[in-house]
Structure 1
């Protein structure tokens, strides 16, 4: 299976164009007001229309309520809803069933014990994302903190659902991450930015190229 590459935290049509031209499979729109990558529903509608048919649209939410999610499903029509908060497996299952939209659940990882949650989320999700667990500070965001974790913890992880890797990835380390973990995909946000919230087309191209090259090396081994 071809490696999935997601460019998250997209805020402009230019960033979408760069991601698509580079060969990314997914673009992520962030709906979390504390994030420098947050987009309003109005902006997201325009971005989704720009990306439609060119890349899969992932809507990242953090403990969103039913009203917001229903509006999101109707107005944006994402291909995938990503849950990046404290949503329980029951909550994920209920939303997935109610909205009939594929879902991805992010699981924060800092140590081996954190992997215990993966099995229950795998039962109710279409995809999973293993991300660096955010630091315990008031300013920390659920994701996009530019932090890595010990990738050996998830090397070869196979819970019966595709698993993507996130957390501190950038053009300089994504090849190593792909080769070591052998997961289904990689997800980058801050690692391809010039400043928080502003994607750099050159870094996007370099990231996707490095990820694809690493997968190709693995297939030839």
Structure 2
């Protein structure tokens, strides 16, 4: 099985370049002011354009993802118009009704993230799956966390055993170059997502960790 990998929280060209050159399938760009990986729209626009140009020059197919948390319609419209992402990732507490509204509003494929600590949490994906291109299963952050993801927390990967889904889904939460192969084998995940696991500090992507993560995720 070919594993698809997303490097999230891209906030520099060297990180984007390394991810593309090392075989990343998706790059995530975060718009959430509390995140150390937050990029204002103008910065994201310039960096995403650089990433597209580099991927094109390398003849690599890479999808770009705008990650938002409980966005209002004004922000969504602005992102869709200015950034033209391949996907918008909803990483907040968006209800199925809100996701359906966003889907009707935008001509952009959606990824919905949900936090997991039990089998019941995994089951909640069913109501979202008809509305989105992909689901993303992340660990529930600690109670005192200010971020919905990207904090290095992980969950019991065996909770994903037997989960099929209507479309390929992402495994996220606490992944890093050293555990990603085990995580894929345990959860039978077709796609993986990493952010803090390839950083040397909050928001500081480490090119060597990006390369090693992608190598280990893809078994190359």
Match of 2:192 in 1: 186
Distance (Å, rounded) in 2 between the aligned partners of 1:39 and 1:155:
35
Matched, 1:195 2:193: no
Asked if 2 retains the 8 angstrom alpha-carbon contact of 1:156 and 1:183, the reply is no
Matched, 1:173 2:179: yes
Distance (Å, rounded) in 1 between the aligned partners of 2:32 and 2:66:
10
Asked if 1 retains the 8 angstrom alpha-carbon contact of 2:31 and 2:67, the reply is yes
Distance (Å, rounded) in 2 between the aligned partners of 1:140 and 1:85:
12
Aligned length: 213
Unpaired segments of 5 or more residues in structure 1? 217-221
User: Pick from 52, 64, 70: which aligns with 2:71?
Assistant: 64
Distance (Å, rounded) in 2 between the aligned partners of 1:153 and 1:140:
25
Match of 1:219 in 2: none
Match of 1:88 in 2: 95
Asked if 2 retains the 8 angstrom alpha-carbon contact of 1:164 and 1:184, the reply is yes
Asked if 2 retains the 8 angstrom alpha-carbon contact of 1:157 and 1:183, the reply is no
Asked if 2 retains the 8 angstrom alpha-carbon contact of 1:62 and 1:85, the reply is yes
Asked if 1 retains the 8 angstrom alpha-carbon contact of 2:34 and 2:146, the reply is no
Q: CA deviation at 1:181?
A: 1.3
Distance (Å, rounded) in 1 between the aligned partners of 2:2 and 2:116:
25
Distance (Å, rounded) in 1 between the aligned partners of 2:111 and 2:194:
15
SS at match of 1:123: helix
SS at match of 2:71: coil
Unpaired segments of 5 or more residues in structure 2? 56-61
C-alpha offsets along residues 118-149 of structure 1, whole Å, 9 cap, x if unaligned? 10011111100000011222x33100010110
Distance (Å, rounded) in 1 between the aligned partners of 2:205 and 2:162:
30
Asked if 1 retains the 8 angstrom alpha-carbon contact of 2:175 and 2:194, the reply is yes
Query: Moved runs in structure 1, 4+ residues, more than 2 A?
Result: none
Distance (Å, rounded) in 1 between the aligned partners of 2:33 and 2:71:
11
Q: CA deviation at 1:190?
A: 0.3
Match of 2:24 in 1: 24
> TM-score if structure 2 supplies the norm length?
0.94
